[in-house]
Structure 1
Amino acid sequence: MIYKPLLTTLLIISGIMARAQAPVKNLDYYLGQAKSSSPVLKDFENQRRTAGIDSLIVRATAKPQVTGSGTGLYAPVIRGYGYDEVLTNGQALEAMLNVNYDLLNKKRINNQLEGIKIQSDSVKYASQLSLFDLNRSVIDQYITAFASQQQVDFNREVVSLLDREEKLLKTLTRSNIYKQSEYLTFLVTLQQQQLSLKQAELQFKNDYATLNYLAGVADTAQAKLAEPELQNAVFTGEKSFFTRRFELDSLKNTNLKNAIDLNYKPKLGVYANGGYNSSLVLQPYKNFGASVGFTFSVPIYDGHQRKMQYDKLALSSNTVAGYRDFFTRQQSQQINLIRQQIKQTDALFGKINEQIRFSKGLIDVDSKLLHTGDLRVSDFIIAINNYLSAQNLLRQTNINRLKLINQFNYWNR
């Protein structure tokens, strides 16, 4: 029992030294790790590159298309049985080189390219939104882990304080200045704080492991977390990032409408071919040749399908407008609510700091009285508990403020 306070002090000192030697990692480190290791962001990047390849494919279709083809036929007639030679010629051989070119495809190609650009912009938006969501989750967990780290540091400070007072109280108890029961009461308080320290260390390990998991960090070595530095919650009043998706939906509908219109435009194409085409019956060595031609088509009547497709796009546009208006109202309410919560939280710091100052001053006074035996141990314990409550309230209020700023910065884009 005599060596227990000494052992506790050594453990506290060793823990402090271990944390002092631990590497320091800040919020930017975890945000960078999360971004580089996210398979979702890599997937979006590959989708954007795919859209770039699609645009090249569309441009290639605008050029003349050259194909080669060949067919062969042999239809024997045995003892009068077989295909009609008037239809089959008995045998045929064809080898052709064909060139086709659509003369009126420029607007269609441009509309397809515009559709691919809208698709690429949509992927870019989804990628940025995914990054914002990832950052919000990592920042929120970083704040939680940092709060757990602060709790561990504060509990160590309290245990160190109580350990020093326990040594003095033991001496005073042996001198009959304090009763044995009062010493045991204080000792129970010390043991409770030691247990709270162990629980805080376990909680920090769990929160720290969760942070590494979210950020994709495989390193299991525990590091010291730097205080998170977040931008102050300032309302920009600029155009919201989140409404960009509704603009993209509107652009998609416009692109689809243009595609519908282009389907009802005349189509004109030219073609040319050359090669060998023979029935192998009469002078087959002379059956080399070439031909040119054109194709033209114009839609006349299809049962008013064009109007029906317009009606579908109109319904889609109404849906987009409804979602946009609803989201705009919700976002404005969300931002105003968070701003109000931040303002109310900031108003608490003055009162909490004042309470901490009084509680700390009371502990200092009570500690002096405890040294002279002019204070009941229970009063000293009450003072310590008040100090603990005030410090915990300050940390929790600060953590809540950081999380509110994180939420505000997410929606204020």
Structure 2
Amino acid sequence: MLLPIVIKAQKTSRNINYFVQEATKYSPLLKDYKNQKQSLKIDSMLIIAAAKPQVTASSAGMYAPIIKGYGYDEALTNGQSLEALLNVNYDLLNKKKINNQLQGIKLQSDSITYAGALSTFDLNKSIIDQYITVYASQQDVKFNLDVFKLLKKEETLLKELTRNNFYKQSEYLTFLVTLQQQQLTLKQAELQYQSDYATLNYLSGVTDTTVIALEEPQLGNPILPTETGFFTKRFDIDSLKYINQKEAIDLNYKPKLGVYANTGYNSSFILQPYKNFGASVGFTLSIPIYDGHQKKMQYDKLGFSTLTSSYYKDFFIRQQKQQLYMLSKQISNMDQLFAQINEQIRFAKGLIDVNSKLLHTGDVKVADYIIAINNYMSAQNLLRQTNINRMKLINQFNYWNR
């Protein structure tokens, strides 16, 4: 029974915030979201860069020999040619398209921000749940250790009373069996505590195997449900995405106007090749006229996606309200149990105190004393379990009430 000694020997303690911070610090998923947002910033810069005039250098050469009268028609190929040009291209009507693309990048960033926040909430919820479980195991160890110490103290007295013929040997052996059972229960509680603590460290990314006592979880009371919450933001982002996509469809059917210019050398070497340095300018214009009603089809497809999203949003809001109501009701029902359980504990503790005094004088049956202890243990276990369940319900309530 070394574990309770280790727990008591610790001068420091840890709280929920420690494990939540460690889990957040080491979570690869949260780091992934952070890197994705940085990548999107680069995508925005790429879009802006692509909107600026594009300058390229190009070169091409060709030689078509005629051998014994055989070869390409020189009227078409000129026999040979060489060009080396510096080209500049610029789309004049690209401002709205660029703004639409940048808005799309921003919405992607908002989606990643939301996903990161949701992952953080999920991570915190799982860490807090496990923390509560470990704290419950810690309380079990402490309670079972206290009961063991009580039984061990009474066993010494009962052993002396049995020698003095106040109790039968069979009664002492019955009590001794109860003591041994309590010792096994304590050992089982210690092993469970170690296992639960290791799971908490695993979830949090903590590699320190030192068992440090946990502070009581401070979750407070559940707050009233909010009208609008965090979970509906993803549907709002989706709505903005649909607007952005619709605008992108519209822009694809706008006229496109571009200008270009080049300068350099372009010659067939037939006539005065040393004079074939020059320049040119021009423009390109594209006006969509008919595409087989593809624009309407894209609108219809986008409309179905929007309608589907609204169905999911309405269904989620109803589920969220139902979940919060159910959790709030369960918490309220548990709150009403505490007064009854504490009253039961008070009576059970009083009965133990009375039986303990009578045990010293040999005026109580050992079986009755054992029953009183078992009743007290059952009441204490019920109180701890109810309190732990209440904290877990509050954790769930706070998760959904965002």
Shorter-chain TM-score tier: over 0.9
Letter of the 2:7 counterpart: R
- SS state at 1:67 partner: strand
Structure 1-normalised TM-score? Answer: 0.95
1:213 paired to 2:206: no
Residue 130 of structure 1 aligns with which residue?
A: 119
Q: Secondary structure of 1:224's match?
A: coil
Aligned match of 1:285? 274
1:128 aligns to what SS in structure 2?
helix
Q: Is the 8 A contact 2:63 2:81 kept in 1?
A: yes
Secondary structure of 1:273's aligned partner: strand
Equivalent positions of 1:149-168 (< 5 A) are 149-168=138-157
How far the C-alpha of 1:90 sits from its partner, in A, is 1.7
Quick one: which amino acid aligns to residue 158 of structure 2? Answer: L
How far apart, in 2, do the equivalents of 1:26 and 1:67 lie? 61
Shift of 1:410: 0.2
Partner of 2:9: 21
2:253 maps to what in 1?
A: 264
Of 373, 383, 395, the match for 2:372:
383
Residue-pair matches, total? 401
Alignment of 1:220-235 (within 5 A): 220-235=209-224
**What amino acid does structure 1 have at the position aligned with 2:357?**
K
Match of 1:102 among 91, 108, 115: 91
Deviation string 1:199-237 (CA, Å, 9 cap, x unpaired) is 001101111111111111111121111111113201142
Aligned to 2:321: 332
Deviations along 1:265-310, whole A, 9 cap, x unmatched? 1111111110111112322221111000111111000111111111
C-alpha separation in 2, matches of 1:85 and 1:236: 85
Trace 1:360-399 onto structure 2 (pairs within 5 A).
360-399=349-388
Cα shift at 1:17: 4.0
Identity %: 67
**Does structure 1 retain, via aligned residues, the 8 Å contact 2:127–2:204?**
yes
**How far apart are the structure 1 equivalents of 2:64 and 2:119?**
64
One-letter amino acid of the counterpart of residue 20, structure 1: K
Which amino acid is the alignment partner of residue 249 of structure 1? D
- 1:355 aligned residue: 344
Distance 1:383 1:276 in 2: 107
Mean alpha-carbon deviation: is it higher for 131-140 or for 54-63?
Answer: 54-63
Q: Which amino acid aligns with 1:42?
A: K
1:185 equivalent in structure 2: 174
Residue 165 of structure 2 is aligned with which of 151, 162, 176? 176
SS in 1 for 2:342: helix
Gaps of 5+ in 1: 1-10
Deviating 4+ runs (over 6 angstroms): none
Letter of the aligned partner of 1:19 in structure 2?
I
Measured against aligned partners, the alpha-carbon deviations of 1:234-256 in whole angstroms (never above 9, x if no partner) come to: 11424111011111111111111
Query: What is the Cα deviation at residue 15 of structure 1?
Result: 5.0
2:281 & 2:3 partners in 1: Cα distance? 89
Name the aligned partner's letter for residue 251 of structure 1.
L
